[in-house]
Structure 1
Amino acid sequence: MSLLLLAEQVLNGLQFGIMLFLMAAGLTLVFGVMGLINLAHGSLFMVGAFAAAAVAGATGSFVLALIAALAAAAAAGALVEVLVIRRLYAREHLDQVLATFALILIFSESTRWLFGSFPLFLNIPEALSGPVTLPGGIQYSLYRLTLIAIGLAVAFGLFLLISRTRLGIQIRAGESDREMIAALGVDISKLYTIVFALGAALAGLAGALVGAIQSVQVGMGEPVLILAFVVIVIGGIGSIKGALVGAILVGLTDTLGGLLLPLFFGLFMDNAAATSTGSALASMSIYILMAIVLVVKPSGLYGAKA
C-alpha cells in the first residue's frame, strides 16, 4: 500500500466525517436543548437533497440549489416542530420515537409522490470538478476538498453562534434549565422552533452536498441518521465540539478500517478470506469504537457528566 493511497483515504475519511458532523450537529442540538429523540432528522437530509436536485435541474445553478436545500429543510423542520413535535416535549421517549418514525413514512411517501421512485442526480459544478494536486503529489477531488472546507466553516460558525451570541446563550441555558429561562421571559416555544429549524437546515445542507456525490433517492437519509446517532453518542449529547470530533473519528475509522483490516488479515489468510473477514470487521469498527468510548467515558468524549 502506497503512502499516496493512504493519504487519499485519510482525506476521504475526513470528508465523510465532516458530512456526518453536519447531520449530527443538528441532531445533538435538538436532543440537548429539547430532550427530543428525532428519528425524522434523516428525512430532512433527504428533503435538502431533493430540493437541491430539483432547483439545480431547473436553473443549472449549484449555489441556488444549496440555498433551496437550506430553505426547504429549515421550512420543513419549522413546520414539523410547530405542528407535531411541539406536542411531544412532555411525552415519554417512546411516544417521540413512534411519532417521528411516522414522520419518516410521511416524508418518504410525500417525496415519492412529488418526484417519483427513480433517483435524481445532482451534478458537481464545473468550477469544482476535476482533481487538484496537493503537497506530496496527491491528486484529490476539488469538490471533496470544498466539502471539507464548508464543513469546517460551518463548525466554526456554530461555535461562534453558541458561544458569542444572545441566541447561543439562550440555547446553552435551555440545555441546563429550560424552566428557568422560560421564567426569565424567554419565549421557549420560539427558541425551540429556531433550534429545530437550524438543525434541519444543517441536515438539508449535508443532503445537498452529498447529493452531488451519490444519487438522490427516497430513504437516503436513514443510513446516515444511524451513523449520526453513533457520532453524538461518541462525542457526547449536546456538545458541538463532541459532534465534530466524534464525526471525524467515525469517518476515519470507517474509511481506514475498510482499507487496513483486509491488509492486516492478508498476513495470515489467503486473499479471499482476508478480504471477507476484514470487510466484515470494518463494517463493525465504528460500533466497536462507540463501545470502547462508552466503557471509558459513559457520557461521551465531551458530554456533560450525569
Structure 2
Amino acid sequence: MNAVLLIEQVLNGLQLGVMLFLMSAGLTLIFGVMGLINLAHGSLYMIGAFAAAAVAGATGSFVLGLGAALAAAAAAGALVEVTVIRRLYDRDHLDQVLATFALILIFSEGTRWLFGSFPLFLDIPDALRGPASLPLGIEYPRYRLTIILAGLAVAAGLFLLIAKTRIGIRIRAGEADREMIAALGVDISKLYTLVFALGAALAGLAGALVGAIQSVQVGMGEPVLILAFVVIVIGGIGSIRGAFVASILVGLTDTLGRFLLPIAFGTFMDPSQANLIGTALASMAIYILMAAVLVFRPTGLFGAAT
C-alpha cells in the first residue's frame, strides 16, 4: 500500500470531519440547550452554500461569499426560531419533527424558486488553487488543507466561546436548568434565538466551504444532516467536545473505509467484486461504529449519564 496515498486519505477524512463538526456543533447546541429536534438544520447548510455561490458569483469575491453565507444562514435561523421554533419548545418531539420537516420542504421549494433547479458552482479562490507541498513529498490540494485549518480554528473559537465567555456560561446554564437562569433574570427567549442563529451560522459556513468542491444544489443538506445526527449520537447529545471527537471519528471511518476495504477484499477476490463489496460495507461502517459505541456507552462518548 502506498503510504503517501494513505496519508492523503487521512487528510480527506479530517476535512470531512471538520465539516461534520460545523454541522453537528450547531445541532447539538440546539438540542442540548432547547431540547429541540431540528430536521431543518440541513436546509441552513444549503442556504449558506447558495448565498456564498450567489454573492461570490456577483462580486467575484470568495470572502464576501463566506460573509454572505454566515449572515444569510444566521438570519434565516433567527427568523425561523422567532416565527416557528419558539412555539415548539413545550410540544412533544413528534410535533417538532413534523414542523421542522415542513420547513425542509419550504426552504427547498423557496430556494428552487429563487435560483432554479440547476446547480450553482462556487469557484475556489486563485490563491487556494493547486497543491500544497507537505512533508514526505505529499502534494495535497491547498483548498482542502485550508478547510481543515479553518475548521479547526472555528472549533477552537467555539470551545473558547462556550467555556470562557459570559454568553457561553449562559448557554451552558441554559442547558443545565433553563428555569433557573430565567428566574435569575436572563432573557431566555433572546438566548434561544442567539443559540439558534449561532448553530445556523456554523451550518451555513460548512455549506459555503464545501460548495467550492461540489455543486451547490437543492437538497444538498439532507445527506450531511444524517451524518450530523450520527455524530451527535456517537459524541453524546449536548456535548461540543463529543461532537468534535465523533466528527473526526466519523470522517476518518467513512473515508478510510472507502479506501481500505476494497483493497482488503481485493487480496482474495476479483477486483470488481471487491470494489463493490468493499464500497457497500464502507457505507455501513459509520453506522456500525455508532452501534458499537451505543452498546458500551448508551449516552454517547461524552454524553451525561441519565
TM-score bracket, normalised by the shorter chain, equals over 0.9
In structure 1, how many angstroms separate the alpha carbons of the residues matched to 2:119 and 2:8?
A: 28
The match for 1:213 is 213
In structure 2, how many angstroms separate the alpha carbons of the residues matched to 1:270 and 1:68?
A: 49
Deviation at 1:267, TM superposition (A): 2.1
The match for 1:273 is 273
How does the TM-score come out when normalised to structure 1? 0.99
The match for 1:104 is 104
Verify: 1:143 aligned to 2:143, yes or no.
yes
The match for 2:249 is 249
Verify: 1:33 aligned to 2:33, yes or no.
yes
Tell me the amino acid that sits aligned with residue 204 of structure 1: G
SS at match of 2:132: strand
In structure 2, how many angstroms separate the alpha carbons of the residues matched to 1:96 and 1:286?
A: 26
Tell me the amino acid that sits aligned with residue 221 of structure 1: G
Verify: 1:16 aligned to 2:9, yes or no.
no
The match for 1:229 is 229
Tell me the amino acid that sits aligned with residue 295 of structure 1: V
Verify: 1:77 aligned to 2:115, yes or no.
no
Deviation at 1:71, TM superposition (A): 0.2
Deviation at 1:2, TM superposition (A): 0.3
Deviation at 1:264, TM superposition (A): 1.1
Deviation at 1:272, TM superposition (A): 1.7
Deviation at 1:271, TM superposition (A): 1.2
Tell me the amino acid that sits aligned with residue 31 of structure 1: F
The match for 2:283 is 283
SS at match of 2:113: helix
The match for 1:124 is 124
Verify: 1:43 aligned to 2:48, yes or no.
no
SS at match of 1:89: coil
Deviation at 1:276, TM superposition (A): 1.2
SS at match of 1:136: helix
Deviation at 1:46, TM superposition (A): 0.3
In structure 1, how many angstroms separate the alpha carbons of the residues matched to 2:259 and 2:175?
A: 40
CA RMSD of aligned residues (A): 0.5
Tell me the amino acid that sits aligned with residue 235 of structure 2: G
Deviation at 1:282, TM superposition (A): 0.3
- 1:63-95 Cα distance to aligned partner (Å, 9 max, x none): 000000000000000000000000000000000
SS at match of 1:245: helix
Tell me the amino acid that sits aligned with residue 53 of structure 1: A
- 1:267-302 Cα distance to aligned partner (Å, 9 max, x none): 221112211111110000000000000011111111
In structure 1, how many angstroms separate the alpha carbons of the residues matched to 2:265 and 2:120?
A: 39
Structure 1 segments (4+ residues) deviating >4 Å: none
**Unpaired runs of at least 5, structure 1:** none
- 1:197-241 Cα distance to aligned partner (Å, 9 max, x none): 000000000000000000000000000000000001111111111
Verify: 1:178 aligned to 2:174, yes or no.
no
In structure 2, how many angstroms separate the alpha carbons of the residues matched to 1:262 and 1:211?
A: 28
**Unpaired runs of at least 5, structure 2:** none
**How many residues align structurally?**
306
SS at match of 2:136: coil
Identity, % of aligned pairs?
81
The match for 2:299 is 299
Verify: 1:196 aligned to 2:193, yes or no.
no
Tell me the amino acid that sits aligned with residue 134 of structure 1: L
Tell me the amino acid that sits aligned with residue 224 of structure 2: V
In structure 2, how many angstroms separate the alpha carbons of the residues matched to 1:185 and 1:85?
A: 22
In structure 2, how many angstroms separate the alpha carbons of the residues matched to 1:302 and 1:151?
A: 21
In structure 1, how many angstroms separate the alpha carbons of the residues matched to 2:260 and 2:113?
A: 43
Tell me the amino acid that sits aligned with residue 18 of structure 2: I
In structure 1, how many angstroms separate the alpha carbons of the residues matched to 2:305 and 2:67?
A: 38
Verify: 1:152 aligned to 2:148, yes or no.
no
Tell me the amino acid that sits aligned with residue 51 of structure 1: A
In structure 2, how many angstroms separate the alpha carbons of the residues matched to 1:18 and 1:167?
A: 24
In structure 2, how many angstroms separate the alpha carbons of the residues matched to 1:278 and 1:51?
A: 37
